[in-house]
């Protein structure tokens, strides 16, 4: 946030993509008209030919605070004249902004993935995450969230281990199952 404080176009664009999971092509089309009854509602550009995946997600309070400071009647990510930026133009700006923030490997697509991962870390299922991101298949969502799910599953597994479901037993390897007796291994 030091490189791009609140109120800058960079901060607005990054916050918008992080809290909506919108792809660049969709993010540049979002504006006040995209919010109805406290929800972002838009159709994914990538799936326009097949009537587009409808995205309908709640407006996160942190994002609402950023958007409240913006002019009405123009796209949230816009030029100085108030016209919508192109997806390619936003991509070029993102490269500049991430370089300025000393995060050259970050990208707008990375913000989309970060949104999916954050929702996964909050305990959402892959179907719930797909409802946020607009993915038609769950395979890509699972790819985005694999690390978050693994960490959560590992935490859950260790919670079970710590509660000692086997009673007062504290040995991890029981002699009759894994100990070496003489020169012979017991299975």
Q: Return the H-helix or E-strand segment holding 16.
A: helix 9-20
CATH number of the domain residue 126 falls in: 1.10.443.10
- Domain span at residue 14 reads 9-162
Low-confidence residues in the chain, pLDDT < 70: 1, 164-187
- Please tell me the total count of domains within the chain: 1
Q: Say if 89 falls within a structural domain.
A: yes
| Chain-centre distance for alpha carbon 88 | 21
pTM more than 0.85: no
Cβ–Cβ under 8 Å, residues 36 and 57: no
Structural domain includes residue 178: no
Q: How many CB atoms lie within 10 A of CB 118?
A: 17
Q: Is residue 85 part of a domain?
A: yes
184 occurs within a structural domain:
no
Gap between the Cα atoms of 4 and 96, Å rounded: 11
**Residue at 144 is within a domain:** yes
Residue 43 has which token pair?
């159709």
Contact 59, 76 (CB under 8 A): no
Q: Decide if 173 is inside a domain.
A: no
Residue 136 lies inside a defined structural domain of this protein? yes
The pLDDT assigned to 92 comes to: 95
**Mean predicted lDDT score pLDDT of the chain:** 86
Which residues are bridge partners to 181 per DSSP? 184
Residue 174 inside a domain? The answer is no
């Amino acid at each position: 946030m030091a490189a791009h404080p609140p109120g800058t176009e960079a901060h607005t664009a990054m916050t918008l993509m992080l809290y909506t999971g919108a792809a660049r092509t969709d993010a540049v089309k979002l504006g006040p008209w995209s919010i109805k009854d406290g929800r972002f509602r838009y159709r994914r550009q990538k799936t326009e030919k097949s009537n587009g995946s409808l995205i309908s997600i709640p407006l996160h309070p942190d994002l609402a605070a950023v958007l409240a400071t913006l002019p009405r009647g123009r796209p949230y990510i816009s030029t100085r004249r108030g016209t919508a930026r192109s997806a390619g133009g936003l991509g070029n700006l993102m490269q500049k902004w991430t370089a300025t923030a000393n995060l050259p490997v970050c990208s707008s697509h990375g913000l989309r993935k970060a949104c999916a991962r954050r929702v996964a870390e909050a305990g959402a299922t892959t179907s719930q995450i797909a409802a946020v991101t607009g993915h038609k298949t769950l395979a890509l969502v699972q790819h985005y969230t694999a690390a978050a799910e693994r960490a959560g599953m590992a935490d859950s597994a260790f919670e079970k281990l710590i509660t000692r479901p086997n009673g007062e037993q504290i040995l991890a390897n029981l002699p009759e199952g894994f100990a070496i007796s003489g020169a012979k291994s017991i299975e």
